[in-house]
Chains A and B, each alone.
Chain A
Amino acid sequence: MFITAPTRSGRSTEDADLIFDVALQLAPTGGNSALSTLMNLVIFGMIFASFFFGQQIQSRIAILQLDGAVRKLEFIKSDAKALALRTIKEIGKPKDDPLSALSGLLEQFFISPVDMDPAGIVGKLDHLLDVRDLKFKADVKKLAPEATDSQVNNLENLVEASWALNLLYKIVRHFYLLGKKTSSFYVILQLQMLLPMIMQEAEAYAGAAKAFALGQPVGDGAGALVASRLMRDHEKREVDKDVMVAETAIEGRRIMALKAKGPGGNVGKPGDAIRTLIEENTGKVAMVVMVDAALKFEGEKTGEITEGIGAAIGGVGTERYKIEAEATKYKIPVYAVIVKESIQEAITPMKKESAEDANGVIERIKTLIQENTKEGDLVIVAGIGNTVGIAQ
């Protein structure tokens, strides 16, 4: 755009006239009324501001968005805590008000073992996790003295979901306040970029809290549901702490189906249980099939069944390590059949697709067994996942 500067004496009036003329030339209709001049000046001001203060403006907008997200997280966290408190009072019938004890539980932390010298770290981590689980369960039992074992497990899961939301809120608030305090555009930007995923996770935990409070099966229980279908109407025994096993037969093969002890919220220690079963049979196991819910990629269909090789089990890795070590010791092939779900679906009430998949998974297991073993062989089928709302 061509701009002609006016030639007048006096520097300040010259500059003002220049801006005035530029504003007039930029006006859409070329009008010279006071209003159109004002509008042009506003537009100029905005261009100037975006040139020199763009980053600060962007930071302010991001801080406003983060502020809303922190408030929403605080609401979700408080809601989950209130739900936990209400359920503890309803089920556990405590004599004293459990609020302060519950608040203390939500602030608990876990220190991972030092990994500078990684030799033996799995054992150390497993031991610390056992101590943590026992302490958590004992604390919940103290809060809800009238609750049954199954209800204590559900309450423990509910308090854990509430604990996770509390931690998520504190982490997001920490980075939000840090970004605000230091006016660091990059700290704010990083948090803003992760915000959609964080909020999705928080909403999933809120859904999980409701499911655990009511004792509804969650998507993660797809593996446990398959094992329970195999175990139905067969004699069961507790093979290891919180893991049940039943012997059945498929196509002339002996099947040992195992799952965590339900119907309370429980994942058990399937690694220990598989190790015990293999040792009981002196390694004479033809194959191990693990069934679990696994994370799907965006765009993949919920409830899709796929199979692969390896120990299908989540968590920090201690249970997987035990299964892999035992399978390697006796050269036992480990197969995995998974039911695909999103992270939200895994911890919220089980979807119809996943529930209906149980029979499809059993058909896959039958095919695997027929193709890879012979009659009379022993096969271990492990249903992995949280067994809330699923008995055996």
Chain B
Amino acid sequence: MEAKRSGMYSYLMVIFSIIILAWAVWAMYNAVNFQQQGNTENFYFYAAASSIAIVLAVSSIMQMRRRILLLQSLAVKVLSVILCANCGFKVVRAFTQGDFVYKEVGNCQQCKGTMRIDSIYAEEPPKKSRP
């Protein structure tokens, strides 16, 4: 629940930063216009404000990107692989407290043999491949 809330906060911050970035681009466009008109005072104001906004927005987006990546890496799923020693029937389910490797967890649906937990591992969310 806490991780979900933290993820939501990160996405909201990214949206806010994108809005600031859009304003900064508009301010920079205005600054260029003012410079062409010879309005130095407004040019300085818009150029400075736009530069500051761009730096803040980009740094905020980068920071949030790192945070989102960290949260994604923390959201690992731990799975228990249950195997029938008789027929090899395999069931993969989420880890539940009390599971351990070689714990007997009932009978096989196919051959009524003993089902045991064969391995427990953490599976990371699939990574996006880069070209």
Partner-B contacts on A (CB < 8 A): 29, 31, 33, 35-36, 39, 207, 214-217, 225, 228, 232, 262-263, 348-352, 354-356, 358, 389-392
Interface range, B side: 20 to 34
B123, A217: Cβ atoms closer than 8 Å:
no
Partner-A contacts on B (CB < 8 A): 35, 40-41, 43-45, 48, 74, 76, 78, 95, 97-103, 119-124
**Can you list 20 residue pairs at the A/B interface with Cβ under 8 Å?**
A29-B40, A33-B40, A207-B74, A215-B97, A215-B100, A216-B78, A216-B95, A216-B120, A216-B122, A217-B101, A217-B120, A263-B103, A349-B76, A349-B121, A351-B122, A351-B124, A352-B122, A389-B100, A389-B120, A390-B100
B77 to A, closest residue via Cβ: A349
A39-B48, A216-B95, A391-B101 are known; give 6 further A-B pairs, CB within 8 A: A33-B40, A215-B97, A263-B101, A349-B78, A350-B122, A391-B100
B40, A225: Cβ atoms closer than 8 Å:
no
Given contacts A348-B122, A389-B120, contact A33 B101 (CB under 8 A): no
Give the chain B neighbours of A389 by CB distance below 8 A.
99-101, 120
Partner of A355, one of B40, B76, B100, B120: B120
Q: Report the bound CA distance from A216 to B122 in whole Å.
A: 9
Give the chain B neighbours of A391 by CB distance below 8 A.
100-103
Partner of B41, one of A33, A225, A351, A354: A33
Give the chain B neighbours of A263 by CB distance below 8 A.
100-103
Q: Report the bound CA distance from A52 to B45 in whole Å.
A: 29
CB proximity of A259 to chain B, nearest CB, Å? 11
A354, B121: Cβ atoms closer than 8 Å:
yes
- Cross-chain pair count, CB within 8 angstroms: 76
B102, A232: Cβ atoms closer than 8 Å:
yes
Most buried by A among B76, B102, B123: B102
Given contacts A29-B40, A33-B40, A36-B44, contact A228 B101 (CB under 8 A): yes
Partner of B102, one of A31, A354, A392: A392
CB proximity of B123 to chain A, nearest CB, Å? 5
A352, B40: Cβ atoms closer than 8 Å:
no
Q: Report the bound CA distance from A248 to B45 in whole Å.
A: 81
Q: Report the bound CA distance from A109 to B44 in whole Å.
A: 61
Give the chain A neighbours of B124 by CB distance below 8 A.
351
B120, A351: Cβ atoms closer than 8 Å:
no
Closest 4 CB pairs of A and B: A263-B100, A349-B122, A355-B121, A31-B40
Give the chain B neighbours of A35 by CB distance below 8 A.
40-41, 44-45
A219 to B, closest residue via Cβ: B122
Give the chain B neighbours of A33 by CB distance below 8 A.
40-41
Partner of A29, one of B35, B78, B103, B123: B35
Give the chain A neighbours of B121 by CB distance below 8 A.
217, 349-352, 354-356
Q: Report the bound CA distance from A168 to B99 in whole Å.
A: 31
CB proximity of B57 to chain A, nearest CB, Å? 20
A214, B95: Cβ atoms closer than 8 Å:
yes
Give the chain B neighbours of A228 by CB distance below 8 A.
101-102
Q: Report the bound CA distance from A214 to B97 in whole Å.
A: 5
Q: Report the bound CA distance from A350 to B97 in whole Å.
A: 15
A350, B123: Cβ atoms closer than 8 Å:
no
CB proximity of A341 to chain B, nearest CB, Å? 12
Give the chain A neighbours of B97 by CB distance below 8 A.
214-215
B120, A350: Cβ atoms closer than 8 Å:
yes
CB proximity of B97 to chain A, nearest CB, Å? 5
